[in-house]
Structure 1
Amino acid sequence: MALRIYGDSISGNCLKVKWTADRLGIAYDWIETNVLTAETRTSAFMALNPAGQVPLAVFPDGRPLAQSNAIIFHLAEGSDLIPGNAFDRAKMLEWMFWEQYSHEPYIAVARFQVLYLGKPVESLEPRLIERGADALARLETQLQRSTFLVGDKLTLADVALVAYTRVAHEGGFDLSLYPAVEAWVGRVEADLGIR
């Protein structure tokens, strides 16, 4: 049995798992799991992941692993996507933890509300937009200093953060205000072979 990845193609968290597996040449079966129709809430899915969330990786031996950044870290173990230097590795993890706490909850939520719930940007909670803009400004500051988030080559930090940054405009964020971020998105997309 191959690695199975349960994911919804509208989700940046799911796509980052797909992109990592593709970049590393890891064979897998993608199982499209629609969150909008509650496919993650079925008893069969909940038996695999009681949290009822995608992405979910189920390894050939049957062990499940949830949470996008945990999955990509496991998949990339020993690869060039994880720095060999201990401090650089810790900086990569710092960005990945920050992504889930200070970026994704604002950028991804605004995108979901606008794109999938049909809300006008003007109706979104102002704090959501402020925090999202703060996250993009934080990325801009870093990317004015370095080619990628941790030095001069792609790491999992870039994979994790590009997932929702590249589609931030769908949530009402103007990426042209962040030229270093825009250029970085292009570099990461090129390296991962995505568009």
Structure 2
Amino acid sequence: MSERPILHEYAASGNCYKIRLTAALLAYPIERREYDIIAGETRTPAFLAEVNPNGRIPVLQIGDKFLPESNAACFWLADGTHLVPHDRFARADMLHWMFWEQYNHEPNVATLRFWMKWIGEANLSDVQRALLPGKREAGAAALALMDGHLAARDWLVGAGLTLADIVLYAYTHVAEDSGFFALADYPAVQAWIARIEGEPGFVAMGD
């Protein structure tokens, strides 16, 4: 490894945290570069030209290459390690959960967290306010689906920790931040969270 990858991030973001957690669990050293998304630092001409024309983080910089999208960055770090199953079906099942996280879980659980904790309910637009009930229902459905799946198993895929667990842990463990979800309602998810936090190399979101 000639140089450390650079994580362009906003540390409070679960999407950024999942990359840091993947790197920590693999003892893979990375550098970190912080941006204030509230202040619009990812929308500057320099950021758009040099880091990501989509104006979003996280972005993992590998040498002179830039890899946006959190789950893609996690996969780059973990490819060829124990976090990616060798079995063909299990590997595809891991990807199924990673796609599901971005399509069903993150747009609801994470979005509500951001709206309520960083924007504040009083500052929501009429459109955002109208979306609250639907996102709350969809977020609860996502957590219930995970709880049902984990009731009979320790991990989302196979017999050990994979990227599927890491990417879903990132926003699940802080789901209560929005004020709309209670993790006590999902005991299998709570036990799964504890297992991940007991993994060697685990780092908390604030570290």
* TM-score by shorter chain over 0.5: yes
Aligned to 2:163: 156
The percentage of counterpart residues that share the same residue type is 43
Displacement of 1:83: 0.4
Q: Which aligned pairs between 1:1-195 and structure 2 lie closer than 5 A?
A: 1-47=3-49, 48-60=51-63, 62-119=64-121, 125-171=132-178, 172-191=180-199, 192-195=201-204
TM-score of the aligned structures, taking structure 1 as reference length: 0.94
Give aligned pairs, total: 192
Give the partner amino acid of 1:175.
L
Q: How many angstroms does 1:2 deviate by?
A: 2.6
Distance 2:190 2:119 in 1: 26
Q: CA deviation at 1:71?
A: 0.6
Q: Is the 8 A contact 2:24 2:203 kept in 1?
A: no
- 1:141-179 CA-to-partner distances (Å, cap 9, x unmatched) read 110121010022100000000000000000121110000
Per-residue CA deviation, residues 120-158 of structure 1 (Å, 9 max, x unaligned), is: 7xx662101000000000000110121010022100000
- Gaps spanning 5+ residues in structure 2: where? 123-128
Aligned to 2:157, the other structure's residue is in SS state coil
CA–CA separation in structure 1 for the residues paired with 2:70 and 2:84: 15
Unaligned 5+ runs, structure 1: none
Greater length-normalized contact order (CA 8 Å, ≥ 6 residues apart): 2
CA contact (8 A) 2:59 2:66 kept: yes
Distance 1:125 1:76 in 2: 35
Which residue type is aligned with residue 173 of structure 1?
F
- For 1:100 and 1:127, the matched residues in 2 are separated by 17
For residue 31 of structure 1, give the secondary structure of its aligned residue in structure 2.
Answer: strand
Q: Secondary structure at the match of 1:103?
A: helix
Shift of 1:3: 1.2
Alpha carbon RMSD of aligned pairs, Å? Answer: 1.3
User: How far, CA to CA, are the matches of 2:35 and 2:194 in structure 1?
Assistant: 28
- Equivalent residue letter for 1:193: F
